[in-house]
Amino acid sequence: MQNKISKSIIFLGILGIFIMGSCKKKIDDAYLNPNAATKEPVESILSGVIGSFTAFFSSAGTGYGVQADGILLGRYVQYWGTQTNGENYGQMGGVLPPSDALGGLWAAVYYGQGQNLNKIVQYGTEQEKWDYVGVALAIRAWGWLELTDMYGDAILKEAFNTSLSQFHYDTQPEFYDSCRAVCFRSLSFLNRTDGSASQANLAIGDAYFYKGDVNKWKKFVYGILARSYINLSNKAIFTTNGYADSVIKYASLSITTNDDNAAVKVAGGTISAVNNYYGPFRGNIGAIRQGSYVADLMSGRLDSAFKGVFDPRAWYILRENYNRTFKGFVPWLGISGLSANEYPKNFWGNSTPDVTGAPSSTGASTPDSSRYLYQNTSPWPMMTASEMQFDIAEAYMRKGSAFKAQALAAYTNAISLNFDMLTTTYSQNIPAANVITPAVKAAYLADPKVVPAATDLTLTHVMLQKYIALYAWGTQLTWTDMRKFHYTDLDPTNPTPQKVYTGFFPPAGVNLISTNNGKLVYRSRPRYNSEYLYDIPELTRIGALNLDYNTQEEWFSMK
């Protein structure tokens, strides 16, 4: 009798589980989540992920991506500054927690891209949309490289383990290896033409980047590989381990024409999310003016580089003052040393200050006279043909004097490509008298101070012209380059002792923020609102609670 009762209980229990499970299924079918589809189409997921390259938006926050961080990092490389004297970022020091400053890229990779990319890979595999899988992996590879270059150690192996609330940090070499492995996985899927791969369908999710062109995505992946090797050019193994040849190989397979440049586009309109983060509608950079270093470099005022040569691109990427000349701020000194007539307009073309030297409104001029990357609908480059040619030029220079002819060819082509990008994509609101014509471009390239004989070419030529070509959009890349050369390293290819970034002087003494303990910045801190609230044991282990953690040199720039 007892046995029968036991069996009855077991049966009823199983039946109850079945009924409850069946009931749950009916409830789920009848009352679907009103906020999202049960399985979101990969087409709609990808469009938001591409937006996370620059400025990601969600109900949990805005501004995740390279653009917000670039406003601050631009002070480190002296692309720009504000009129404020002694502001922290110009002094190569940031706001310590509880600020999320310089956490935009961290949030973009782990939150904006994060599980969204995982879902694209999962759903894309189930639906045999191999092109979507390949694109998702390309973005993941980009994220791993950009993330570790900015922050050093970060979360890799445990990044998307949802059972954890605290995470182990992995090393930069592991990130580099993972980036390359993911690149090759991406290429393997982008090469597939079976299943449901379709340019027309990929273009639905990829409407604002490459419009579904898989071949251009492949070039983007090759460019990531090239970056992963050129970033290590300061290491002794760069030439002995074939890294220089890898740069040349992958950069040559990457973007070679401006038609293939990778750029995030925006539609423009009456809401913030569809306008360029740097445009006047958004109002994020009204107080910023160009740095004095880039202004002097392009105006011919530096005695040690391009002396006396005016760069006609200044009218496209910088901003003139009342005197129609180009001057700028030392980031930690603000307007000191500038007269009212020398005070540069902001990037939207607002008027100069009055004769007292007091700055005028930081807003946009009327009518809008913004140029370059500062228009509401300006496309934002993520990788360009010019950049790839500069990488090839540097790799050849590192290989030795026997390769200077090849270096010169790539260097010259890089400058030419940058000129052409500006004149075809960013020609809006350039004064008629200052438009770059083929003759103007040819004259600049014919100047031996800019393009010398092959035997006279130096790394200084290459890196300073790359500095100009990456102006504003490539701030993170320029910071990586400057850290490779420890900001003030001498040029090993120049028989005359001279800094690679000749004329560049980082802050020192009282102009360097005191918490750096006399050292320059080499990394950013992990994002406060995810790490400094929850991951204290790991931050303690890597030293990220120290006030001068941001001065610890990263692996990529070490010999």
Give 323-370 pLDDT, tens digit per residue: 999 999 999 998 888 988 899 999 999 876 643 444 455 677 767 899
Residue 378 has pLDDT above 70, yes or no: yes
What pLDDT is recorded for position 334? 87
What pLDDT is recorded for position 510? 93
Three-class DSSP labels, 257-283? CHHHCEEECCCCCCCHHHCCCCCCCCC
* Range list of β-strands (E), 228-347: 262-264, 288-290
Give 299-322 pLDDT, tens digit per residue: 999 999 999 999 999 999 999 999
What pLDDT is recorded for position 63? 73
What pLDDT is recorded for position 221? 99
Tokens of 248: 């040349």
CA 547 to each of CA 62, 171, 525, 544: distance values in angstroms, whole numbers, following the listed order: 27, 21, 10, 8
Closest Cα to residue 527, out of 108, 25, 5, 76?
108
Residue 265 has pLDDT above 80, yes or no: yes
% of the chain beyond a pLDDT of 70: 90
Residue 13 has pLDDT above 50, yes or no: no
Distance CA 59, CA 134 (A): 28
CA 478 centroid distance within chain: 9
User: What ranges in 31-127 are assigned the alpha helix state H?
Assistant: 42-51, 66-76, 104-107, 114-126
3-state secondary structure of 429: coil
What pLDDT is recorded for position 454? 98
What pLDDT is recorded for position 35? 61
- Contact partners, residue 557, CB within 8 Å, separation at least 6: 234, 483, 484, 486, 522
Q: Mean pLDDT throughout 99-126?
A: 95
Q: Mean pLDDT throughout 515-524?
A: 96
Residues 107, 64 contacting (CB under 8 angstroms):
yes
Give 536-545 pLDDT, tens digit per residue: 999 999 999 9
Residues 217, 190 contacting (CB under 8 angstroms):
yes
Residue 278 has pLDDT above 60, yes or no: yes
Distance CA 43, CA 51 (A): 13
**Phi, psi (deg, nearest 5) at residue 75:** -70, -40
Residue 26 has pLDDT above 80, yes or no: no
**Phi, psi (deg, nearest 5) at residue 264:** -85, 125
**Phi, psi (deg, nearest 5) at residue 225:** -60, -45
Strands 56-58 and 61-64: antiparallel
Residue 212 has pLDDT above 70, yes or no: yes
Q: Mean pLDDT throughout 402-421?
A: 98
What pLDDT is recorded for position 11? 34
Q: Mean pLDDT throughout 165-192?
A: 98
Give 60-107 pLDDT, tens digit per residue: 566 789 999 999 999 999 999 988 888 889 999 877 878 999 999 999
